[in-house]
Amino acid sequence: MSPAAAPHCAASPRCPVRILPALGLLFLLLGLCQSVENRCSSSGATTCGKCLALGPECGWCTQEDFMVDSTENERCDTAPNLKSKGCRQDSIEYPTAHAQPLSSRDINSQVTPAEVSVHIRPGATVNFLLKVHHLEKYPLDIYYLVDISASMHKSIARLNSVGFDLSQKMANFSDDIKYGFGSFVDKPVSPYISIHPQKIKNQCSVVDQVCMPPHGYINVLPLTYNTTKFKNIVGKQRIAGNIDTPEGAFDAMLQAAVCNTDIGWRKEARHLLILMTDQTSHLALDSKLAGIVTPNDGGCHLKDNVYIRSSAMEHPSLGLLGEKLTENHISGVFAVQGPQFNWYKDLLPLLPGTAARQLDPFASNMKDLVFDAYQMLLSEVKIEVDNPIKGIHVHVTAICPDGTRRSGKEGCQNVKTNEKVFFNVTLTMDTCDLGNGRDYIVLRPLGFNETAIIKVHRDCTCQCNSVSQAKGKCVTDDSTDCQTIPCKEEICSSAELDYASESCRASPSQSVCTGQGVCLCGKCFCQKTKLGAIYGKYCEMDNFSCPYHHGKLCSGNGDCEDGKCRCFKGWESDRCHCASSLRKHCMNSKGLVCSGRGVCQCGKCQCTDAKSFGPLCQYCMDNWNCEHFRGSINVSESEGNLYKTACDMLVYYIDQTPECFSDPRILTIFFIISIVTFLLGILTVLLTRHIILNHHKARDRSASSYRTPTHKKDKSVLHNVYTRTVTYTREKPDDINIDISKMEAPETFKCNF
């Protein structure tokens, strides 16, 4: 628009139309600003805890006479507003979020500060800086974990010459180096090894070699300064064998990482674990092929430097292995021969603080490989957040020496020894519904043997809640919030205050609401849990603490009331798993349940009298030894069989008496009668035998009087022919005439008696 046209425009009625959009935008912004409400004062919070949970800008006035004439609840507001309304500064509950270093390490520390105390409240943000840098000439522990299967024999032979050469090359990083050596093959069970009798002791019998027995892991040489000993130990190492392609590398690697005392890892040194292999490794769940289903517990299980649970636990998962490597400040290097190198390289993102390098067929590049891998690991500075807390969010940003910013997990690359890396750590908190108390978070720089501990204090309660520090009102007089239930899910809000708590205790020695709820206005509000309902005046009862049977509460045949099963009709027992119809199997012929000496459980009698036994408790045992045997739990199987046999002979049936009794005279009489009966039986047998023998002798004498006389000549002939004499007895014996002349000389005559 020209200057000449300006007066004309000013006089024109169309000019105001052009400025209307600008005016409208101005009024809109003013309206939005006016519409923004103060969430502290507009919330209607009636307790100090609820007020603080609204946001970091909210405060609560505990002054008793604050705005006594006001009809509105105005104790919750921003701190400046409360002060302007007349609330004294010392009566304003307004915790501020802040971080404070608690301790710092000396000048030789690589991570500072070592410990930080953080006070935080809902919606607040806390920041602090963590400094990490490498120190020169830091102590170093190098542990070789070697696959000694037959295909690795050339690499093993090369390894024994590496120790001295490597120590010379690593002098740029450290002049304090220890070396160690361990071996592994695989789990010594089928199908990983051959269990043929000829191969149990020697898996290499087919190729006419003597192999070591296959093993999960052996700590052959703990960390030592003696490179000569290292060389000799490696030189004496024999190969072993197995039959499947993957090896137990990760199983052995975890043991080498967690067995600090056995390996000799030093707290003041960096830890470098070098895994040498030419095959892939078994992973978690592979062990099920051998029937091994117990998950790996991540613990150390070495005995005399041998992994003793190799055949009992599964291979570790990658997550568990990575966690243990980080937790024990171990940098891992995979030195791999052949095409399997790419398999390990792909796993590096899942195993923080590890590197992969390829070995040549004769492992001639071993010392260069270790040097390069260690140099690369030193040039990377990353941080892992350990022990996270639910509801607390931790964000870490790395500020690299070149000025770039990356996430803490990504970290900085190509960091030199004298350069420092700063990490900006930010903590935020959502709500106060997740509990109180001091918690801690661990920041672990990968490959370093130092950590930073963050102690977290959740400022979710007010000082006026504490009986010892009560300093005013934490709740308004017209609070209607007493009728609301402050529990969500499994935890009650810690922002709620426990006032009038004495009426919420079953007894002075009991905790408020039995520790399962909060006390508001003298009434218990019980927790809510996914397991079931907690109820009662003092939250002392629930409907989920009853016995389970086959995974069902009260077997699904009853209701749980105050920890006891109330069975439905037709079911009984403490867990309602027995049908009432089975009770008939416990009745004796007189209609007594278990003969009046026991209780019926699922159709079987459980005798309550210690001396009663039998299917219906119908038998009674009357001997101390038998009673002692029945009550003893330290009797061997052979002794138990002897006692049982003896006790079975000492039982008697007492169907006429309702109670078992014990009288030692009965046993005495029983033994006397048994002994007398036995002696009388023997006497009767002896007398009978004597009578029978006398009878036979009398018959023999009477028969001899009827024999026919024989001439002397005949008697001599008979004596020469017969070896024994046979007597035939008859009522009237006939004459016996034997013609000796008719018998031939060679003929023999035998008499059968």
Contacts of 121 (CB under 8 A, 6+ apart): 52, 56, 95, 97, 429, 432, 458, 459, 460
Most confident of 273-287, 510-524, 687-701: 273-287
Backbone CA torsion sign across 706, 710, 716, 722 = negative
Per-residue three-class SS string for 287-341:
HHHHCCCCCCCCCCCEECCEECCCCCCCCCCHHHHHHHHHHCCEEEEEEEEHHHH
Question: From CA 265, how far away is CA 258, in angstroms rounded?
Answer: 10
Q: Give the fold, CATH level 3, of 465-474+484-549.
A: Laminin (2.10.25)
Q: What is the CATH number of domain 37-94?
A: 3.30.1680.10
Contact between 569 and 589 (Cβ < 8 Å):
no
Least confident of 175-179, 339-343, 637-641, 647-651: 647-651
Least confident of 82-96, 199-213, 432-446: 199-213
Higher pLDDT, 18 or 637: 637
Q: What pLDDT score does 690 carry?
A: 87
The encoded tokens of residue 207 equal 């190729």
Compute how many other C-beta atoms are within 10 angstroms of the C-beta atom of residue 527.
21
Q: How confident is the model at residue 308 (pLDDT cuts 50, 70, 90)?
A: very high
- The CATH architecture one would assign to domain 140-378 is 3-Layer(aba) Sandwich (3.40)
Neighbouring-strand partners of residue 528 = 533
Most confident of 29-38, 214-223, 377-386, 693-702: 214-223
Question: From CA 483, how far away is CA 481, in angstroms rounded?
Answer: 5
Q: How confident is the model at residue 713 (pLDDT cuts 50, 70, 90)?
A: very low
Residue (of 156, 174, 169, 175) closest to 369 by Cα position: 169
pLDDT at 457 over 90: no
Average pLDDT over residues 540-561: 83
- The CATH architecture one would assign to domain 98-134+383-458 is Sandwich (2.60)
Q: For residue range 647-664, list pLDDT tens digits in order.
A: 554 444 444 444 454 456
Average pLDDT over residues 342-363: 90
pLDDT at 489 over 60: no
Q: What pLDDT score does 11 carry?
A: 41
The pLDDT mean for the chain works out to: 76
Least confident of 53-67, 147-161, 417-431: 147-161
Residue (of 172, 180, 145, 164) closest to 227 by Cα position: 164
Question: What is the per-residue DSSP string for 379-423?
Answer: T-B-EEEES--TTEEEEEEEE-TTS-EEETTT-BSS--TT-EEEE
Contacts of 483 (CB under 8 A, 6+ apart): none
| DSSP run (H or E) holding 103 | strand 98-103
pLDDT at 46 over 90: no
Average pLDDT over residues 81-105: 85
pLDDT at 547 over 50: yes
Q: For residue range 586-616, list pLDDT tens digits in order.
A: 888 888 888 888 888 888 888 887 778 888 8
pLDDT at 543 over 60: yes
Least confident of 7-11, 553-557, 711-715: 7-11
Residue (of 660, 593, 669, 675) closest to 622 by Cα position: 660
